[in-house]
Amino acid sequence: MRLAFFGDVVGAPGRTAVTEHLPRLRRQLDLDFVVVNGENAAGGFGLTGAIADQFFEAGADCLTLGDHAWDQREMLNHIERDQRIIRPVNYPDIATAPGRGAHLFALPDGRRVGVVQILGNVFMRQAMDNPFEAANAALEELALGQVSDALIVDMHCEATSEKMAMGHHCDGRASLVVGSHTHVPTADAMILAGGTAYQTDAGMCGDYDSVIGMRKDISLYRFETQLPGERYQPALGDGTLCGTYVETNDATGLATRIEMIRIGGRLSTALPG
């Protein structure tokens, strides 16, 4: 199976990068399933139903969220209506959290893809249930090779150590563990010892002439003065589409290949050969 995961979409440049490049890329790479993290797509804060529909029309099969899941209040209801949108699986009171944190998708040919999103705890603004225990429950529910033919884990967190630990924790039980949230693509795309593809952060889809997607002047003022300044706003230059491409063995669901994707904007281009 051929899978792709695209990192946090930030504002209008990120949305444009997805809608302009994803349709062609889906055809070019003959992708079977595409996940896009959309939690910063609406002006840098959250996701709306209208923007979600744009991503689905462009070729996304699943959208993940993160710590900004509910910044756009409409998502509290919209996520209940659209099962293709996933929020973190490890909310402390899972019975009251809208939507779902893990879902099994059926492809037209009958193959099944499981998607899980987990929110880390290290340096994050909200305390969540133990992400490693939540991963165990989700991976058991969507068991690779039994319930799902491929399984993607979006580890949304700040600390690279927590992301790497999750990769090893899921090794052999997931097709791909990929990090999101920190908005900078890492150069460590690899296949772990147990056959799980891993990358610490897929990188954001947005304007890299910025501070993690936000206007430089606003971020610099806050760092230089230690004052709150004005509200963060996305930078509005040319966007880069950043993501991860993975091929799996249909017999096992484990990865046979992982490559980085970068198209457009300021970063150097990277595409699977």
pLDDT, residue 94, reads: 65
pLDDT, residue 53, reads: 98
The token pair at 61 is 């099969």
Kindly report the pTM of this predicted structure: 0.97
Query: From CA 175, how far away is CA 11, in angstroms rounded?
Result: 29
Mean pLDDT of each 10-residue bin along the chain, 273 residues long: 98 98 98 98 98 98 97 97 97 85 98 98 91 98 98 98 98 98 98 98 98 98 95 97 98 98 97 93
Pick the closest to residue 8 from 228, 213, 183, 230 (CA basis): 183
pLDDT, residue 268, reads: 97
The alpha carbons of the chain give a radius of gyration, in whole angstroms, of 17
Domains of the chain by start residue, with CATH: 2-263 (3.60.21.10)
Active-site residues: which are they?
68
Query: From CA 119, how far away is CA 132, in angstroms rounded?
Result: 10
Per DSSP, the residues of 2-64 read EEEEE--BBHHHHHHHHHHHHHHHHHHTT-SEEEEE-TBTTTTS---HHHHHHHHHHT-SEEE
Pick the closest to residue 172 from 254, 257, 258, 256 (CA basis): 254
Per DSSP, the residues of 120-162 read --TT-SS--S-HHHHHHHHHHHT-BTTTBSEEEEEEE-S-HHH
Q: What is the pLDDT of residues 89-146, one digit of tens each?
A: 999 876 689 999 999 999 999 999 999 999 999 999 888 999 999 999 999 999 999 9
Query: From CA 265, how far away is CA 256, in angstroms rounded?
Result: 29
pLDDT, residue 254, reads: 98
